[in-house]
């Protein structure tokens, strides 16, 4: 018997650990452990928790078709996982436990503890690299070190990709076997519930067929236009596949294979830009592996930890609730709060506004995003926030500061997105939709004045960053 411990790899096909377990021709069982205390500490969004649970319901049925039983249990935190997985493996009579590697510090320590405990009990342990097409350490510079700038990383990555025939593996059926009675109480069933809080996520599909259909639809109908449409939040220009990548219901290999299927090189500019987005995700996974400090709230650039922050609580609350008086910022935050998702261009705008207009520590924004995002992925979220804060690996230069008004005018020119999420501004003329405070009838609006003056705060930011860098 082989046991596969599922974490953020909630799929059947192209699951490296599962496929390796099945390759031995023995019965296979899968187990999922909920860890509510660790989830709370890590800020798992209740909406993502709901998507995970709904995905488990689908996965239970998909695994059953392969003669694989899905087991489910709950422990408080990561430190409890090693003992529980060892107990499950022992009860099953499993000779090996298979897992797909995660690269954050807490996850690595959890797996080191499991390896030790399994070894002490005479049970084998197989760690598989699955989250990236190329595992951390396999894309390096001429000196053998990891890349600290994205563009040369991408160039090396694409060179490696040209000679790499990656396979999207189809999981075969397992040898059928009955589970011991001592373990049958752990069999997953639809009435199982998380003790962790959940928020409705039903607008996001959870079955593999629908997820793959969404991938195919995007690559067939919209990927070639991605470079021209992705920055406009009122358009359906993005894939919206990130929630499935975040929980592992979809793999990066499946995305890359579908993107490149039937294509000749070079790819269209739209496909090339979406491919770059997939490679950015890989870049951040590699960084998390090589730089443990990124999992501990540290800046990638050491001077970043010396930045002085205002952390005005009223401003933080205005930002969170979409009441800053800047329409594009408020529309984006309301979209996040109501749907658990935010358009990528808007993520950069609201992050820049929090950090460089309000002088709020980027970690506060990073944490809030994780608590709200249905597609929350620690490495990608941390990388994005540090990019905006100019403290990250290959981050935006600190003197490049988004103007929320000009960003709004450029990427939501008609105000369609703003009016969708800020109904107070529905009647504002197009000329003033991006800066309603300039409209003559502004006093008739139930909408706040800007909480700060961008021009003034921009100069403050330049001073604060220069001071931190000059220390």
Which of 333, 368, 366, 373 has the alpha carbon at shortest distance from 349?
Answer: 333
State the alpha helices, DSSP H only, in 24-67: 36-42, 46-64
Would you say residue 190 lies in a domain? no
Which of 277, 291, 409, 424 is the catalytic position?
277
Q: Would you say 358 and 457 are in contact if contact means Cβ atoms under 8 Å apart?
A: yes
Among the candidates 290, 322, 343, a domain finishes at 290
Position 134 scores a pLDDT of 96
Among the candidates 130, 151, 178, a domain finishes at 130
Q: How many CA atoms lie within 13 A of 24 on its CB side?
A: 17
403 given a catalytic annotation: no
Structural domain count, the chain: 3
Q: CA 306, CA 274: separation in Å to the nearest integer?
A: 35
Position 97 scores a pLDDT of 98
Q: What is the pLDDT of residues 295-323, one digit of tens each?
A: 999 999 999 999 999 999 999 999 999 99
Q: What is the pLDDT of residues 107-122, one digit of tens each?
A: 999 999 999 999 999 9
Position 59 scores a pLDDT of 97
Which of 204, 280, 319, 341 is the catalytic position?
280
- Regarding whether 118 and 104 lie in a shared domain, the answer is yes
Q: What is the pLDDT of residues 126-157, one digit of tens each?
A: 999 999 999 999 999 999 999 999 999 999 99
- Regarding whether 466 and 318 lie in a shared domain, the answer is yes
Q: What is the pLDDT of residues 210-260, one digit of tens each?
A: 999 999 999 999 999 999 999 999 999 999 999 999 999 999 999 999 999
362 given a catalytic annotation: yes
Which of 39, 341, 362, 421 is the catalytic position?
362
341 given a catalytic annotation: no
Would you say residue 398 lies in a domain? yes
- Regarding whether 254 and 314 lie in a shared domain, the answer is no
Which of 40, 199, 309, 312 is the catalytic position?
309
344 given a catalytic annotation: yes
Which of 39, 315, 385, 421 is the catalytic position?
385
- Regarding whether 355 and 265 lie in a shared domain, the answer is no
Mean pLDDT for all residues in the chain? 96
Q: Which residues are annotated as a binding site for FAD?
A: 226, 238-242, 274, 277-284, 375-377
- Regarding whether 240 and 333 lie in a shared domain, the answer is no
- Regarding whether 107 and 236 lie in a shared domain, the answer is no
Would you say residue 224 lies in a domain? yes
Would you say residue 196 lies in a domain? no
Q: CA 150, CA 1: separation in Å to the nearest integer?
A: 43
Task: Output the CA torsion 81→112→289→80 (10° steps).
Answer: 20
Q: Which residues are annotated as a binding site?
A: 226, 238-242, 274, 277-284, 375-377
Would you say residue 375 lies in a domain? yes
Among the candidates 290, 310, 345, a domain finishes at 290
Q: What is the CATH number of the domain that holds 435?
A: 1.10.579.10
280 given a catalytic annotation: yes
Maximum C-alpha span of the chain = 77
pTM for this one? 0.96
- Regarding whether 155 and 125 lie in a shared domain, the answer is no
* Confidence category of residue 192, pLDDT binned at 50, 70, 90: confident
385 given a catalytic annotation: yes
DSSP class per residue in 339-403: HS---HHHHHHHHHIIIIIS---HHHHHHHHHHH-TT--HHHHHHHHHHHHT-STTPPPTT----
Q: What is the CATH number of the domain that holds 257?
A: 1.25.40.80
Structural domain harbouring 319: 302-470
- Regarding whether 339 and 269 lie in a shared domain, the answer is no
Q: What is the CATH number of the domain that holds 91?
A: 3.40.50.620
- Regarding whether 340 and 408 lie in a shared domain, the answer is yes
**Main-chain phi, psi angles of 430, to 5 degrees:** -50, -35
């Amino acid at each position: 018997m082989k046991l596969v411990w599922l974490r953020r790899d909630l799929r059947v096909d192209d699951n490296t650990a599962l496929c390796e377990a099945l390759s031995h021709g023995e019965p296979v069982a899968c187990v999922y452990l909920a860890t509510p205390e660790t989830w709370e500490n890590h800020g798992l969004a209740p909406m993502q928790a709901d998507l995970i649970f709904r995905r488990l319901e689908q996965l239970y049925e998909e695994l059953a078709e392969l003669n694989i039983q899905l087991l489910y249990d709950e422990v408080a935190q990561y430190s409890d996982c090693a003992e529980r997985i060892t107990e499950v493996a022992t009860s099953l009579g499993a000779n090996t436990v298979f897992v797909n590697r995660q690269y954050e510090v807490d996850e690595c320590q959890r797996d080191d503890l499991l390896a030790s405990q399994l070894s002490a009990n005479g049970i084998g342990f197989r760690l598989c690299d699955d989250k990236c097409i190329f595992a951390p350490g396999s894309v390096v510079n001429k000196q053998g070190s990891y890349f600290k700038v994205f563009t040369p990383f991408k160039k090396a990555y694409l060179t490696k990709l040209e000679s790499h025939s990656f396979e999207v593996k189809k999981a075969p059926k397992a040898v059928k076997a009955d589970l011991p009675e001592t373990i049958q109480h752990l069999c997953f069933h639809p009435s199982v519930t998380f003790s962790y809080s959940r928020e409705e996520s039903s607008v996001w599909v959870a079955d593999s067929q629908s997820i793959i259909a969404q991938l195919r639809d995007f690559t067939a109908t919209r990927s070639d236009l991605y470079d021209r449409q992705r920055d406009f939040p009122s358009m359906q220009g993005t894939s919206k596949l990130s929630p499935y990548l975040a929980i592992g219901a979809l793999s990066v290999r499946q995305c890359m294979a579908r993107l490149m299927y039937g294509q000749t090189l070079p790819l269209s500019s739209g496909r090339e830009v979406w491919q770059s987005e997939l490679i950015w995700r890989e870049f951040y996974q590699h960084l998390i592996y090589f730089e443990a400090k990124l999992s501990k709230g540290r800046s990638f650039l050491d001077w970043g930890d010396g930045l002085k922050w205002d952390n005005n609580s009223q401003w933080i609350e205005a930002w969170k609730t979409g009441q800053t008086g800047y329409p594009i910022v408020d529309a984006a935050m309301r979209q996040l709060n109501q749907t658990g998702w935010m358009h990528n261009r808007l993520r950069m705008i609201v992050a820049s506004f929090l950090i460089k207009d309000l002088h709020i520590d980027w970690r506060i924004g990073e944490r809030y995003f994780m608590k709200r995002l249905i597609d929350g992925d620690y490495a990608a979220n941390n990388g994005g926030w540090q990019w905006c804060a100019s403290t990250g690996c290959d981050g935006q230069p600190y003197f490049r500061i988004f103007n929320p008004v000009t960003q709004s005018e450029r990427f939501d020119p008609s105000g369609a997105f703003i009016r969708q999420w800020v109904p107070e501004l529905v009647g504002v003329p197009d000329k003033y939709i991006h800066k309603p405070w300039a409209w003559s009838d502004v006093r008739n609006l139930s909408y706040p004045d800007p909480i700060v003056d961008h021009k003034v705060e921009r100069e403050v930011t330049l001073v604060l960053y220069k001071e931190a860098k000059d220390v």
